[in-house]
Every structure is written in structure tokens, then in C-alpha cells.
Structure 1
Amino acid sequence: MIEALPLLGIEEEYLVVDPRTRHAVPRAEDVLRAAEPVLGGDVTQEMTRLQVEVRTRPTADLDDLAGRLRAARRQVAEAAGSCGLAVVASGLPVLGSVVPPPISVGERYQRGDLVYRALNDEISICALHVHVDVPDPEHAVLVANHLRPWLPTLITLAANSPFFAGRDTGYASWRVMCWGRWPVSGAPPYFSSYLDYQQVVSALLESGALMDERTVFWDVRPSPRLPTVEIRVADVPLAPCDSTTIIGLVRGLVVTALTAVARGDPGPPIAGQLLRAAYWRAARDGLRGHGLDVRTGVLTPSAVLARRLFDHVRPALAEIGDLPMLSEGMADLLARGTGETRQRRAFARRASLSDVVDDLITATQS
């Protein structure tokens, strides 16, 4: 039995675009200035001046979180509009001179530019980060072990970055591929304990691969600032209802994992190279293709893997009370497709990336 519903909080990143040229533009400061009177500290800068980030306050109620997210999207879109700009929920900029991107002002950002160098050339990436309360960092590490097999499926369900800087990448989520080149990114290793995790992070700090614990960019990690496990595997979804579905599935995975940990189960030790291959396949083919089931080693339709994930978390969702909402959200997502599906459909009408950006603006605002 769940004693109390774990609190949820999220961060979503958006790109600032000029609605006339459809290019991503380095005017995040203008949007932030316009949005801060309404959103206060819930809107902030990101690594580049092409991006803004919104955050939600912690809540246990998924429906409440969905409402806050819709309101935050609307408010930041209105702030951008007041500056003659727009924001789009896309994993990468579709158009614009964005390689290398303009790095935001700040000592930390400048230091990161010195450390990571050309890795920053494609850092204008936008993701959905989900924070779920856990009892302590030990639980966070063991929960990550249980989540590792499901991370490729979350990639397929959130894929929303097929186009980048004026070209079709051929991938459903090029953001995942860009991010995977960083020294501490992608699926986390399997850890036997939090002590094991700390020892590895200490060695990575010594190597210079990390500036500090905040640059542990694994897709599941103990938050360095909050009493949560942070899941950061997903592209920012185009539709806010899809964000809600992903967030609810993530909490279902965490609750399911906590139940297993309480039974003494440390999670399945899936080989890192197998996960790497599954990431690549998920990022390339998305929901419409096949993915690698890392538990069996069998190539399987991605929609089937998505249904298996849902079946895995169904008991937790029923106990939490989220099952009706997420059953509807999952069915809608599987029938309609992801943000990548919509981006490609917009492009197919006239083979125009400008049309893609126009549709992104419309979808993000609505």
C-alpha cells in the first residue's frame, strides 16, 4: 500500500522563435522579462539564449499539475507574443542559425563552455524533466535501476525532434542523439547502492568529466538539490496532454519500483551496451517503428513495448487513482502519434519547414 502519494514537479523547456522568419532567435531575455511578473521564479533561463524553462510547484495531484502546466505554457506564450515572438515545444530548433548556439550569460555557463567546448554546438535541446519524491538518495539509486529497462520506451512516447537547423535528421528524436555524446549522459549505470553511486561520481569529478554534481546528466539521477529522483529522458512533448501522460507514467514507474525495492529487489542488471542500442533504435524509429526489448533481446513493435510499460505500471496507477486519466491519455497518444508524427505531417503538406514551425507555434499555444 502507498502511504502517501509521491509529490510531483516538472520542468519544461521551450524554444523562442520569430514568427515571421520561423527561426529560433536569441531573445530569451525578452521573454523572461515579460513573463516574470506573472510566473515569477517559475520561469527561468537555460543554457542558451534560445530557450526558456518553466517549472511547476510540487503537488501530489496529477490533474492539478496538468492544469498548472497548461497555464504556464499559456502565460509564457502570451509573454513571448507581447514581444513579437513565439515559443515552441520542440526538442530542437527546426530553423535558424543555431550551431553553435548563443550561450546564456553567467559564470557557470561560461565555465561549461570552456569545459565541454564543441559539445555545446547542439545544446539547444528542450526536454521534460520529472521530479518524483523518494525517501532518500539510496532509494533514488535503486529506483533508477528499475527504471533503466523502460527508458527507451519513454523516448519513443515523447519523441519530438525530427528536424534540426533546417534539415531532416531521419530520426524521431535527434535530441537524444545529440545529448548522448556528453560524457555523463543517457541511461545511468547499474548501481548496487548510493555509496556505489557516490564513488563513481567522485571519480568522474576527478576526471574533469563533471564540473559538479549538477552536471550528472544521466536520464535518471538523484536530484542534487531536491529530495527526489529526477527523470530527464523525454523530449519536451508538443501536446501538454502528452506531457501529462508521460509524467503520470513516470510516477507509476517510480511507485512500482519503490514497491519492488521494499521487497528487497535492487532491479534488473541490464547491460549498458544493450541499453545504448535500445536508445539508438528508439530515437531513430520512434513510436511508429520497432524497439529493442532489453529484457528479452527481441526486436518488438514500439507500440507493443508501450503497452507493456502501461501494463507494468497499471497496478500502481490504479492504487494512485490515475488509471482512468492515463488509460485515456495513453490510448490517445498511441492513436494520434507523438510530436514527431505531427511535425512530419505538417512538413508533408508542402515540404516546408516553415509550415512545421507555424504548426508548432499553434500547438504550443493551444
Structure 2
Amino acid sequence: MAMLVGVRTVGVEEELLVVDPSGRPVPLGPAALEVAARRGEGETVEQHDRAERGDDEAGDPRGSLVPELKAQQLEFGTRVCTGLDDVAADLRHWRQRADAAARGVGARVAALASSPVRVEPQDTPGRRYTEMADTFGLTAAEQLTCGCHVHVAVEDDEEGVAVLNRIRVWLPVLTALTTNSPFWLGRDSRHASYRAQAWNRWPSSGPNELFADAAAYHRLVEELLATETIVDTGMVYFDARLSERWPTVEVRVADVALRAEDAVTLAGLVRGLVDTAAGEWRAGTPAPAVRSEVVRMAAWRASRSGLGADLVHPATGRPAPAAEVVAALLDHVRPALVGTGDEQRVADGVAAVLHRGTGADLQRRVHAETGDLTAVVRAAVEVTHA
């Protein structure tokens, strides 16, 4: 239906940190989900685990609260949306409902991509999460990270793979725009997004090479599974991938945004990238022939400095001021933004981030003023629900 009306649908998944009133992460996600389930707003850990075993129908994160890898987390997804106003309304609604569920067990939720405060991450119970913990050791044990995933509709897998081939060089710019994890378990990481560094410990994460077609993409997934390293296809953690469940391209490089409106801006940019890439494919424009090693280097630099220093320009492969690279991204997707009516909103959103900084910048300002990492968390709670 989205393609029939000429506008690609978009949806956003967010992972949130569960914290106590003092600002310390607490393993109350499962208890908060029990509260949400009683209100018809969530899926308990037990229901989630039964679905993973195939005993029940698989859960749907859209319009619902669901478990994540660690007990200090909650996850939700928006509905399938056509307009960015709908994305914004759903993000604010589900942040509020997640917070209400957490309040029901004496906690709050914060849109933080890592824990500023030292904490011992605790595994969420369940077959899949236990298998991941056993298989991946410290990588899984320390993986208390919260991301933001954007889904955009594609007509079929062929279009989806053509899109993946063409957006990969722009994804580090999205990382830079959304950095929100400068502190890692009680220490300043000296990165703007340390979540990206922690996440890339997974063996199936990061950028990949160009695909000849959809069949080549699916062959690669089968080859990864054949190594018996990852536990299932849900662990194909590419920076962008074909969704396992929906007819979408799923972009996974962003930290969860501290401000809901920044997540809306991200959703607009991702939809613009997908629409632009699909148009290039249909016009016969080849995908940029950039090696995955170069894309990985660009992603590392974006994670390290965010918008505070040079980024690698996708057109040249050379350093350029962050504002210049972000402007190039906007120019690249502008015709698509005009087509969906999103140009002004997304341009204003990008300008706001460039002016006031990202979530990482706010966290560092609060810490510089207070010297207290729990104060950083408490400030993040307030901004999350502003």
C-alpha cells in the first residue's frame, strides 16, 4: 500500500535504559514488562521466550514493549507510519508508556545508548539470550547498549539489496548525527558513540561488500549460519540489512536518540536515502565502488568524534569538516525529501543537531558541570520525556 500511494512507509525501533531514581541502571526490565503486559501494552519475558521456541506466535515490537538482551533494557517499535508526524507521535507515546511501566516497579527509562554509570549488566532470562551469553562470553556479557533501528519499505528483495549497495557509504554520517554514548560503565570512553565500538565486537556486525543481487545476499546469510557461529538469522548484525520479518531495509547504525525529535530526523534521512538509492538503481546508476574497509574506517571516525571533528566524505574518501559532510548528505537526499514533504522538517532537525550538539555533547556538558555521572543519567531521563 505504501508503494501504491507513492510514499514509502517507515518505522522506528528504540531500546531504552531502565534506571532507578538516583540514576543507576537496574535489572527491572522484566518486571516492568509484567506491568505493561497487564495493561495490554507489552510482552513478558516468558511470552517472548515461548515465541522464540516456536510454542507461540512470534511477538511484534510494533506498538508494544518487548524484552531486550539485558534486564536493564526495554524495547519498543512504532507502528508502520507514512508521515513523520506519526513517527513523532508514536515515539513520544511509547517512551511515555515505557516510563509508566518502569514507574510501576520504582524505576524510569532513559534514552541512553550506554550506561554512564558503572553497572554489572544482567542477562534477560530466556533460551536465546542464554545461548548468546554462553556462546559469546564477555562480548555478550558487556553488551548493555541501546540503539535505534529504522525500517523503510522496499518493493522486494532485489530493490532492497540495490538500496543496501548504495546507502552503505552514507551510514557513518548517520552515526555521527546520533552519537549518544560517550561514557562506558563509569568511564569517559573518549568516543562520542562507544556503543558503536562495543557493538562491533559481534562477529557478524559492520559494513559488507557490494552484492550482485538478492540471491547473493541470501547466500551470504546462509554461509554465515553454516559457520555455526551466530545462533540464528536475527544475529546477522550488518549495519543495514534486509529485515527478517518485514518487507523493509533496516538501518542499524544509530545510537538511540536522547531527544525524540532527533529520532524523527533520523527516520526522515533514512527514508530519503532509501528512496534516493532505489531511484539510482532504476536509473542504472552504479553503486559507489568503495571497499568495506574504507566504510569501516569512516564509521570508526564517526563513532570517535561525532560532529566534533572531521568525517570521511563519502564522495572523496578524504577527511572533511563534519558540517560539510552532513550538508552533502542533505543535498544527496533533498529531492526525495521534497517528494515526501519532509524537506523543511528534516533540514530543521539537522540544523538543530549541528547547533546544540548530539546527546553525547549534552552528556559531557552535564558531567563537566556536576562531575557526577548519575546526574548525567538523571538529566537524560528528563530530556527523554521532554
How many angstroms apart in 2 are the aligned matches of 1:330 and 1:244? 10
1:92 aligns with 2:114: yes
Contact 2:160 2:248 in 1 (8 A): yes
Pick one of 287, 291, 302 that aligns with 1:271. Answer: 291
Range with bigger deviation, 30-39 or 53-62: 30-39
Pick one of 163, 167, 174 that aligns with 2:187. Answer: 167
Aligned-pair identity (%)? 39
How many angstroms apart in 1 are the aligned matches of 2:71 and 2:163? 34
Which residue pairs with 2:80 in the alignment?
A: 58
1:251 aligns with 2:271: yes
Task: Write the letter of the residue equivalent to 1:10.
Answer: V
SS of residue matched to 1:46 = coil
1:45 aligns with 2:47: no
1:77-116 deviations in Å (ceiling 9; x for gaps) = 1222232211110111111422xx2111111111122222
1:341 aligns with 2:361: yes
Task: Write the letter of the residue equivalent to 2:242.
Answer: P
Aligned residue pairs: how many? 363
Contact 1:188 1:220 in 2 (8 A): no
Give how far 1:148 is off: 0.6
How many angstroms apart in 2 are the aligned matches of 1:291 and 1:270? 16
1:198-237 deviations in Å (ceiling 9; x for gaps) = 2222221111232222111001000011111101110001
How many angstroms apart in 1 are the aligned matches of 2:257 and 2:198? 17
Which residue pairs with 2:31 in the alignment?
A: 30
1:200 aligns with 2:216: no
How many angstroms apart in 1 are the aligned matches of 2:36 and 2:87? 19
The aligned runs of 1:176-187 (5 Å cut-off) are 176-187=196-207
How many angstroms apart in 1 are the aligned matches of 2:272 and 2:122? 37
SS of residue matched to 2:307 = helix
SS of residue matched to 1:238 = coil
Q: TM-score, normalised by structure 2?
A: 0.91
Give how far 1:294 is off: 3.7
TM superposition outliers: structure 1 runs of 4+ over 4 Å: none
Any gaps of 5 or more consecutive residues in structure 2?
Answer: 44-63
Contact 2:33 2:42 in 1 (8 A): no
How many angstroms apart in 1 are the aligned matches of 2:117 and 2:208? 32
Which residue pairs with 2:146 in the alignment?
A: 126
Which residue pairs with 1:13 in the alignment?
A: 15
SS of residue matched to 1:26 = coil
How many angstroms apart in 2 are the aligned matches of 1:267 and 1:110? 40
The aligned runs of 1:218-257 (5 Å cut-off) are 218-257=238-277
Label 1:2 to 1:290 Cα distance change in 2 as closer, same or farther (>3 A). Answer: farther
1:292 aligns with 2:312: yes
1:139 aligns with 2:166: no
How many angstroms apart in 2 are the aligned matches of 1:354 and 1:93? 10
1:365 aligns with 2:385: yes
Contact 1:303 1:334 in 2 (8 A): yes
**RMSD of Structure 2 on Structure 1 (CA):** 1.5
Give how far 1:279 is off: 1.0
How many angstroms apart in 2 are the aligned matches of 1:264 and 1:193? 14
How many angstroms apart in 1 are the aligned matches of 2:232 and 2:354? 39
SS of residue matched to 2:250 = strand
Any gaps of 5 or more consecutive residues in structure 1?
Answer: none
